[in-house]
């Protein structure tokens, strides 16, 4: 072939082939500015499971911290994970789930429980944990049945079944939505200055399932976009208060949420107020849904991943409610590897497309 013919070849190639020849800067998966694929793991997980997580390439984890864990234990466990190359980036410590806090029951116990929360945040700040995840669900029912999907058991919620067969008053009296808002405001006034001083971000999970105004006799406040905006105003637009966006929970609400998942990402993510992502899919919106693996539900999870990269979300993302596959136990290794691999593939594609 003559030199002149060779020089003409690129013009004859398809546009897609030409695009592959253009070198673009693609953010590496482990770049600090990228999404941090993580997993929710008890700090007491066996070393053998840590080796497995290292083998599938996990670099970050959400520490699930038992209430009886001492601060010394939390630090030791952080160092044990680090010996496997896995960073304790964010955590779930459930001191805030005290009914006295969630319902706003006046008295010394509520204030003692809030001080416990404050002590946890101060310690997390000292050992370098960036995000603490929260929720505000004092009387939730998450599941009305367990069903079979593709050979594994998964959660189903049916609103009619809940109202007719499951719902009951959990506490000695009902608590209105406004009472629960007052309880949240009291907690936030005490705890937000501590979070700011410790430089730990507070990431709030939506009510699961959303939309329902009351559940088991208690009002629910993080059930739509309006609730998050009200909470943000209570926080004075602090950069240390933001959203733990559970994609599955938000998708359960459908068009009653005020904004869809992509709208929440554009709004809160565009303002740097997304702090954590639970990556889960569901079959449909309320009044009835089943949880699925991320590749199976009605939400296009690639569009979610792409939207997060477009707003330059740099925080953690975990697979949520990983089902047990055949032979699974403990951290559900097969299901975990399935979800992490799928998420990593979507992230790589989004990095290539968004840059």
Six-digit token string for 246:
């559970």
Q: What is the CA 119 to chain-centroid distance, rounded?
A: 23
Say if residue 17's pLDDT is above 50.
Answer: no
Mean pLDDT over each residue of the chain, to the nearest integer: 92
CA distance 264 to 255: 13
Given this model, what pLDDT does residue 9 score?
46
184-230 per-position pLDDT tens digit: 999 999 999 999 999 999 999 999 999 899 999 999 999 999 999 99
Answer yes or no: are the C-beta atoms of 61 and 81 closer than 8 Å.
yes
Say if residue 3's pLDDT is above 80.
Answer: no
- Residue 334, Cβ density class (10 Å: 0-12 exposed, 13-18 middle, ≥19 buried): middle
- Fold of the CATH domain 27-354: TIM Barrel (3.20.20)
Say if residue 30's pLDDT is above 90.
Answer: no
**108-126 and 177-198 helices, crossing angle to 10°:** 30
Given this model, what pLDDT does residue 287 score?
97
256-284 per-position pLDDT tens digit: 999 999 999 999 999 999 999 999 999 99
Say if residue 16's pLDDT is above 70.
Answer: no
114-149 per-position pLDDT tens digit: 999 999 999 999 999 999 999 999 999 999 999 999
Given this model, what pLDDT does residue 20 score?
45
Say if residue 80's pLDDT is above 70.
Answer: yes
Q: Which residues pair with 87 in a beta bridge?
A: 60
For the full predicted model, state whether its pTM sits above 0.85: yes
Answer yes or no: are the C-beta atoms of 306 and 353 closer than 8 Å.
yes
**pLDDT category, 8, cuts 50, 70, 90?**
very low
Given this model, what pLDDT does residue 355 score?
75
**pLDDT category, 12, cuts 50, 70, 90?**
very low
Percent of the chain with pLDDT over 90: 88
260 Cβ partners below 8 Å, 6+ apart? 250, 251
**pLDDT category, 31, cuts 50, 70, 90?**
confident
Q: What is the CA 47 to chain-centroid distance, rounded?
A: 25
Given this model, what pLDDT does residue 51 score?
97
42-62 per-position pLDDT tens digit: 999 999 999 999 999 999 999
């Amino acid at each position: 072939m003559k030199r002149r013919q060779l020089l003409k070849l690129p013009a004859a190639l398809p546009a897609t082939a030409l695009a592959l020849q253009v070198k673009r800067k693609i953010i590496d998966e482990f770049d600090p500015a990228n999404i941090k694929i993580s997993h929710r793991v008890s700090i007491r997980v066996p070393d053998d499971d840590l080796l497995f997580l290292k083998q599938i390439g996990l670099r970050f984890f959400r520490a699930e911290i038992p209430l009886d864990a001492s601060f010394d234990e939390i630090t030791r466990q952080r160092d044990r994970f680090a010996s496997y190359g896995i960073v304790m980036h964010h955590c779930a410590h459930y001191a805030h789930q005290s009914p006295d806090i969630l319902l706003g029951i006046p008295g010394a116990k509520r204030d003692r429980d809030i001080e416990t929360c404050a002590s946890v945040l101060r310690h997390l700040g000292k050992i370098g944990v960036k995000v603490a995840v929260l929720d505000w669900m004092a009387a939730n029912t998450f599941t009305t049945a367990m069903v079979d999907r593709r050979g594994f058991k998964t959660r189903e919620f049916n609103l009619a079944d809940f109202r007719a067969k499951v719902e009951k008053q959990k506490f000695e009296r009902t608590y209105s939505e406004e009472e629960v808002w007052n309880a949240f405001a009291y907690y936030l006034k005490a705890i937000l200055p501590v979070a700011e001083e410790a430089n730990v971000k507070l990431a709030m999970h939506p009510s699961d399932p959303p939309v329902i105004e009351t559940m088991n006799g208690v009002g629910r406040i993080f059930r739509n976009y309006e609730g998050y905006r009200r909470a943000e105003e209570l926080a004075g637009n602090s950069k240390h208060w933001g959203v733990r966006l559970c994609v599955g929970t938000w998708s359960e609400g459908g068009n009653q949420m005020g904004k869809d998942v992509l709208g929440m990402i554009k709004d809160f993510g565009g303002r740097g107020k997304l702090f954590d992502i639970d990556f889960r899919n569901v079959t449909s919106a309320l009044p009835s849904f089943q949880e699925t693996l991320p590749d199976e539900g009605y939400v296009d999870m690639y569009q979610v991943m792409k939207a997060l990269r477009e707003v330059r979300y740099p925080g953690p993302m975990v697979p949520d409610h990983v089902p047990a596959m055949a032979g699974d136990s403990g951290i559900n290794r097969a299901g975990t590897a399935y979800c992490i691999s799928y998420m990593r593939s979507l992230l790589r594609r989004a990095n290539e497309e968004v840059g």
